[in-house]
Structure 1
Amino acid sequence: MSDPMLRLSGVYTDIAQYHILQGVNFDVPRGQVTMLLGRNGVGKTTSLRTIMGHWRARAGQILLDGQDIAALPTPAIARLGVGYVPENMGIFSDLTVEENMILAASSGPLDRTRLDWLFSVFPPLQTFWKGHAGNLSGGQKQMLSIARAMVEERRLYLIDEPTKGLAPAIVSTMAGALRQLKDQGASILLVEQNFSVARALGDSAVVMDDGRVVWTGAMAELAGDAALQERLMGLSMEAGH
């Protein structure tokens, strides 16, 4: 296998007096979707935030295409081609949809071809292009949040629970957009609690528990083994979690 797009090696992250990540090791293969799974509170979001530089790793390496980015500030990591979709969406409610997208396009004017593709997967963004983002529905805000990360082709996409709390129709739209991004050859690290989405999109899986990685392997292997799901996460994801 070729060198991974991203490699975490012995990563420790502390938040105040709490030791959240405790020696995290995993790879994100190039051109694949890696699912980051586990129960709530085990360190998945902290892992994404540490990769993105929002939290600083106390120890360990975070290698992006072989370059250690662990000590870089967040803007520098973004400029290296890392797109991040936080769980709280991270959009600017007082700005229009168009202005949100312009701000996300760091390399210059919006690319018309890519914008047309985003309109095809997220039609409400075109409908409300001149409207304030704060007036969008919850699902539409999530579409905008993901579209902002997708507005330019990135080396790596970090996406935190994109379907959380969304209606089934919006979940389907979101999954379709992520599948198209995958089909373009994107490297994606995706935190997702909806198992049907994880099973449909994931190539590989990383399962965390208590700040550590407890299992890595093919997503299909995990999806096909309810006993393994139960052992790793204390639940059967087939139950709809």
Structure 2
Amino acid sequence: MSDPILSLSGVCTDIAQYHILQGVDLEVGRGGVTMLLGRNGVGKTTTLRTVIGHWQARAGSIRFDGQEITRMPTPDRARAGIGFVPEDMGIFSGLTVEENMTLAAASGPLDTARRDWLFSVFPPLRTFWRSAAGTLSGGQKQMLSIARAMAEERRLYLIDEPTKGLAPAIISTMVGALRELKSQGASILMVEQNFAVAKALGDQVAVMEDGCIIWTGAMADLAADAALQERLMGLSMEVEA
């Protein structure tokens, strides 16, 4: 891949006594969506958390837009242009939707045009703007979680299982919003277990197993090859879709 926006080389990450990432090599292209797929527990979430700095790599190198960030503190990585949507949403339940969004716009007040665009892709945000985030439904909280990462334009978005446990109608809204973000030229690294969503959004794909990347290629190629899906992940996307 020429001129990737994110590059991991030989990244190893330990959590307590467990060696979770065992030499991850991964590139994320500019202006597209790279899906990170694999069975549960193979290191996908740890990869995202290592990139944002919640976990520190024991070995290897992480480069973002040509800059070495392996030892950089998490706030500096965010200021450099990386947005992170954790699987557990990470919203402030006691604050209103508006206050959550205001905190997310770290460089200053939330831009009105950006807010109105977020309202257009996530209509419930407008409806519940002055409501406490803790009173939202699960799907609405997930929308808020993603909108917080999108409060400012980022150069790279790390998104961890955004559709997990959501109803089909909410998933459709989520996919539409991420397509909008993609159309703006955003670069996205996304963990997703819903393979219909992965096929709908992904340009490139990396498959993990036992803390390593075992296959990379075009999402369309993997989606079209049931035998390859079975060999890499023990399942068929065609069944899941």
TM range (shorter): over 0.9
Which amino acid in structure 2 is aligned with residue 138 of structure 1? G
Tell me if 1:228 matches 2:228: yes
The corresponding residue for 1:178 is 178
Deviation of 1:73 (Å): 1.1
Counterpart for residue 141 of structure 1: 141
Superposition pairs of residues 49-198 of structure 1, within 5 angstroms: 49-198=49-198
In structure 1, list runs of 5 or more residues that go unmatched. none
Which position in structure 1 is the counterpart of 2:37?
Answer: 37
Mapping for residues 211-222 of structure 1, pairs under 5 Å? 211-222=211-222
Matching residue of 1:207: 207
Instruction: Give the match's secondary structure for 2:10.
Output: strand
Q: How far apart, in 2, do the equivalents of 1:240 and 1:168 lie?
A: 14
Equivalent position amino acid for 2:75 in 1? P
8 Å contact 1:20–1:43 — kept in the other structure?
yes
Moved over 3 A (4+): none
User: How far apart in 1 are the matches of 2:180 and 2:224?
Assistant: 24
User: What does the per-residue CA deviation read over 1:49-94, in whole Å, with 9 as the maximum and x for residues that have no partner?
Assistant: 0000000000000000111111011111111010000000000000
Partner-residue secondary structure (3-state), 1:34: strand
TM-score by length of structure 1 reads 0.99
1:237 alignment partner in structure 2? 237
Query: Are 1:13 and 1:57, in contact at CA under 8 Å, matched by a contact in 2?
Result: yes
Distance 1:195 1:117 in 2: 27
* Contact persistence 1:92–1:134 (CA under 8 A): yes
Q: In the TM superposition, what is the alpha-carbon distance from 1:2 to its structure 2 partner? A: 3.8
Structure 2: stretches of 5+ with no match in the other structure: none
Deviations 1:179-202 (A, max 9, x none): 000000000001011111100110
1:4 aligns with 2:11: no
Q: Which amino acid aligns with 2:133?
A: A
Q: Which deviations, in whole Å up to 9, do the C-alpha atoms of 1:95-134 show, x marking residues without a partner?
A: 0000000000011011111110100111111101001000
How many residues align? The count is: 241
C-alpha distance in 2 between matches for 1:201 and 1:75: 28
Say whether the 8 Å CA contact 1:82–1:157 is kept in structure 2: yes
Q: Distance in 2 between the 1:239 and 1:167 partners?
A: 19
**Aligned residues with identical type, % of pairs:** 77
TM-score normalised to structure 2 length: 0.99
CA distance, structure 2, for counterparts of residue 145 and residue 103 of structure 1: 12
Q: Secondary structure at the match of 1:31?
A: coil
Counterpart amino acid of residue 195 in structure 2: F
> How big is the shift at 1:237?
2.0
Q: CA deviation at 1:235?
A: 0.9
Q: Deviations over 1:10-32 (max 9, x none)?
A: 00000011000000001000111
Amino acid at match of 1:211: G
1:2 and 1:30 in contact (8 A); partners too:
no
